[in-house]
Amino acid sequence: MNQPLIEVQAVEKAFGETVALASADLTVHSGEFVSIIGQSGCGKSTLLDIISGLVGPDRGDIFLDGQSVLHSTGHAGYMPQQDVLLPWRTIIDNVILPLQIDGTTKKAARKIAQEQLPKFGLEGFGDRYPDALSGGMKQRASFLRTCLTKKKLLLLDEPFGKLDALTRLEMQQWLVKLAHSMSLTILFVTHDIDEALLLSDRIYVMSPRPGRIVKELHVEGERPRSMETLSSPQLQEQKQTLLKMLFDQERS
């Protein structure tokens, strides 16, 4: 395979006496959807913070297209768990923020965003305010804003974790299709094994704190997958492998 788009090498991070990450390594290639799973508190979100440049590691390095981006920001689009939409701005004025920050005029930015609203399931909602939207619709708007950063790499930190079960299923199936149709490169944090198997090309399993990568699993079958494929013998076997690994780590 060609050179990774992003490469994490031996990243370590401690907060005071608490070691969050211990020599974490991973790669993501262009066009891949890669997930990280692990127990709560194992350092998954910290790793995304370091990759994005929001937090500096104590040791290790981050490479984008073979060049170190350690301690720098702006090389990845980052979508946190909360939608963080500004309540005083309409949906379209929320999603154009990255374009405006890059110097695009408001009129031009609105035109670009307006053309994307249907693809993100937001047609007819551009002039609404965030408090008028459901949780799923807010996440769609947040994801569109992340995509409009026009970064090669998108970092998604449990974006559906706070949604109800049915909305979460709907959003997973939506993201499956969108990521495939747009050839997005995504590093995705989740604690949901089914979600990771549905969405991903590869899955990294992190150990309990201090977090390190303990397994890399190539998901069977090509994307995009349907919910029905999760019941296939191959994916059920992979699910059991992941469950056993996570359960065994919790007991150790």
Residue range 6-75+152-249 in CATH 3.40.50.300: yes
- Structure tokens, 135: 């949780």
Q: Where in the chain is the domain with CATH 3.40.50.300?
A: 6-75+152-249
- Structure tokens, 11: 């990243």
Contact 187, 51 (CB under 8 A): yes
Q: pLDDT (tens digit, 9 = 90+) per residue, 71-83?
A: 888 899 999 887 7
Q: What is the pLDDT along the chain (252 residues), one digit of tens a residue?
A: 578 999 999 999 999 999 999 989 999 999 999 999 998 888 899 999 999 999 999 999 999 999 999 988 889 999 988 778 999 999 999 999 999 999 999 999 999 999 999 999 999 999 999 999 999 999 999 999 999 999 999 999 999 888 888 888 899 999 988 998 899 999 999 989 999 999 999 999 999 888 899 999 999 998 888 889 999 999 999 999 999 888 776 655
Cα–Cα distances in angstroms (integers) from residue 35 to residues 43, 97, 101, in the given order: 14, 27, 29
Written as one string, the DSSP assignment of the chain is ----SEEEEEEEEEETTEEEEEEEEEEE-TT-EEEEE--TTSSHHHHHHHHHTSS--SEEEEEETTEE-TT--SSEEEE-SS----TTS-HHHHHTHHHHHTT--HHHHHHHHHHHTTTTT-TT-TTS-GGGS-HHHHHHHHHHHHHTT--SEEEEESTTTTS-HHHHHHHHHHHHHHHHHHT--EEEE-S-HHHHHHH-SEEEEEPSSSB-EEEEEEPSSPSSPPGGGGGSHHHHHHHHHHHHHHHHHHH-
Q: At what angle do helices 135-147 and 106-116 cross, to 10 degrees?
A: 120
Give the C-alpha separation, 94 to 122, whole Å.
13
| pLDDT the model gives residue 147 | 94
Give the C-alpha separation, 213 to 244, whole Å.
16
| pLDDT the model gives residue 203 | 97
Q: pLDDT (tens digit, 9 = 90+) per residue, 39-88?
A: 888 889 999 999 999 999 999 999 999 999 998 888 999 998 877 899 99
- The reported pTM is 0.93
